[in-house]
Amino acid sequence: MAYLSLDLIVNRSGWVYINEEQRSIEYLSSVLEDSAYVDRKLTVDVITWLKSMESVRPGRYRIEEDEALPTVMNRFRSGIQEPLDVIIPSLGDFRQLAKRLGEQLMYDSASFYNFFQSDSALAMAGTDRANFSSLILPNTYELYWTIDPAGFLKRMQREREAFWKERENSLKRIGLSREEAITLASIVEKETNKVDEMPRVAGLYLNRLRSGWKLQSDPTALFGLRQVYPDTVVYRVLNAHIAFSSPYNTYE
């Protein structure tokens, strides 16, 4: 009879985020009451007791108004969370990528950046430091909030293989490797943000490569500069910028 007297319907719609340190039933019941999803935390405590729930799985959970609370509890117990769209543009370095991921996912930017810089990440990717960034293709990805850095890298590897499998013939036609094509695309994107100009700019660079000339690309000089001085802001490219010596500077 006590169970029948409980409010078993959710009051409002919204999102609930649970990380590794917030897995207790006490925390969940407090969050649901404090955020007005339920009127009394006792309701949550009773349902979790009846379901023999000892903890909650981390995740990003969607709750709908008028949804049955026992159904919601089943999602918390099973870890059935909602994915989110993570937009990854063409980024200058892994600091920027780690910052973007840390702002949207459960693990913070330091966790992502430290992993990207680790030898274990390179071993997992099967590449070297110079080509590591070519694993990350700019796109919008549907990811779970709880994905860890290693899981993210594995996902990027799968996406990369699927992407290039469809483009092997194009690579052979222009005579570039996957890494070279990604690098060229990144340079072109930095040269112009006008889509209709990109093929012309790419063509100019391809002609230089075929002729054995130096690319002499400002974005490559600035990229090398920012590897040493990551907080550098450049409003106008000067001779001092393109003269900065680095493995990435195509003026050298």
Average pLDDT over residues 10-22: 95
Q: How far, in Å, CA of 10 to CA of 244, rounded?
A: 60
Burial of 169 (0-12, 13-18, 19+ CB in 10 A): exposed
pLDDT of 250 over the 50 cut: yes
Confidence of residue 1 (pLDDT cuts 50, 70, 90): very low
Entry pTM = 0.77
Q: How far, in Å, CA of 219 to CA of 215, rounded?
A: 10
CB 115 within 8 A of CB 152: no
pLDDT of 102 over the 80 cut: yes
Tokens at 210, concatenated: 């075929």
Task: Report the pLDDT value the prediction gives residue 198, as an integer from 0 to 100.
Answer: 87
Ramachandran bin of 147, using left for φ above 0, alpha for ψ from -120 to 50, beta for the remaining angles:
beta
The mean pLDDT of the chain is 89
Task: Report the pLDDT value the prediction gives residue 195, as an integer from 0 to 100.
Answer: 84
Q: How far, in Å, CA of 31 to CA of 220, rounded?
A: 49
Q: What is the pLDDT of residues 162-173, one digit of tens each?
A: 988 888 888 888
Task: Report the pLDDT value the prediction gives residue 91, as an integer from 0 to 100.
Answer: 67
Average pLDDT over residues 122-143: 85
